[in-house]
Amino acid sequence: MLFQESILFGWHKDVNNMKKGLNKAVPYESIEWLLEAYNKPAFKNRPCVFLSHKKEDKAECRKIAEYLKQAEIDYYLDELDNELQIAAREKNPIKITESIKEGIRNSSHMLVVVSEKTYKSQWVPFEVGYGHSAILDKGLKKDEKPDRIKLSILTLKDISEKSLPDYMQVGNIIRGTKSLNNYISKITNLRTNYPTNETARFRLFARNKNWSPTIYTVANTAIKTSIVDNVYYKITRANDGLTVVDYGTGSSKQTLLSYDISGSYFDFNMNMLEANYAYEINFVYLINGSYVEQPETFRFNVV
């Protein structure tokens, strides 16, 4: 029998204490972000998505931005960047370029919204190129593979992956609401960095594989999870695939997940890992007497 659950990794949202996403291009929202980050250091770990697009697709980008906002994801949408708009009116390419670069540097992810109009854009190729160095390749060691989800391509209407230019095909491709929901889950449910002196609790949430939340459920509903017995984790180093902690499926069951009313979890002391490396977590389930490794991989850094 096929396993009918898929997994999300991270923590339940506190629906009663939610802080919707902020547009970092807006001066007062940027200040609000700084104040929140000062009062709540963990706030700095929230993802921020730079929305790269052709101006003719602005209406679609506003809808996507609102979707991210409701999911508690910060974003950068340029139409409310005063300095950028002034530079555009003055036709000052230097100031335009610097404003765009600053927006990208202040973001953890880039989402390129692609339509047929995008191919005529002069700025989207520049933004993607700068995004490669400032976001996708930032902090990578030699031979370490980048996390492709940090530079994602959202295609509108009938744009096929094969029709995308080569510089876009290296990104993570998003099509439709279900794919966008999966993207949101991945970038929000696992912190990017963990210090070596922390013992972190990782939670594994299981849900029906056909679950496809609307914008309302993404923003207002805690994840409905079911407990899965006999789940084991493995940790590998991302740059060379070295297995640091293997599946403990033997008699000692040292990597067997515990569980409580909120779902399955395990605690991990980060001082077991070498700092300044990226690591990946995988899971294997015992199903009908056989161990089945799940396809999802979750990446984090130890600093």
Range of the domain at 266: 193-302
pLDDT at position 12 is 39
pLDDT tens, residue by residue, 76-108? 999 989 999 999 999 999 999 999 999 999 999
pLDDT at position 15 is 37
pLDDT at position 95 is 95
Q: Are strands 290-293 and 277-287 parallel, antiparallel or unpaired?
A: antiparallel
Q: In terms of domains, do 29 and 170 share one?
A: yes
Q: What percent of the chain has pLDDT over 90?
A: 40
Asked if residue 49 lies in contact with residue 73, where contact means CB atoms within 8 angstroms, the answer is yes
Domain membership of residue 297 (yes or no) is: yes
pLDDT band for 221, please (50, 70, 90 cuts): very low
Number of domains in the chain: 2
pLDDT at position 92 is 95
pLDDT tens, residue by residue, 120-179? 899 999 999 999 999 988 888 777 888 888 999 999 877 877 788 888 888 889 888 778
Q: In terms of domains, do 61 and 114 share one?
A: yes
How high is the mean pLDDT of the chain?
Answer: 82
Query: Does the pLDDT at position 201 exceed 90?
Result: no
Q: In terms of domains, do 165 and 99 share one?
A: yes
Q: In terms of domains, do 219 and 178 share one?
A: no
pLDDT at position 5 is 42
CATH code for the domain of 205: 2.60.40
pLDDT tens, residue by residue, 223-233? 455 556 788 99
**Which two structure tokens, joined as six digits, stand for 52?**
């790269």
H-helix segments, the chain? 27-39, 58-70, 82-89, 93-105, 123-131, 166-169, 176-188, 215-220
Q: In terms of domains, do 267 and 159 share one?
A: no
pLDDT tens, residue by residue, 39-81? 887 778 788 999 999 999 999 999 999 989 888 899 999 998 9
Domain membership of residue 3 (yes or no) is: no
Phi, psi of 21 (to 5 degrees): -60, 150
Query: Does the pLDDT at position 11 exceed 50?
Result: no
CA separation for the pair 137, 66 (Å, rounded): 28
Domain membership of residue 5 (yes or no) is: no
| pTM given for the model | 0.66
pLDDT at position 222 is 44
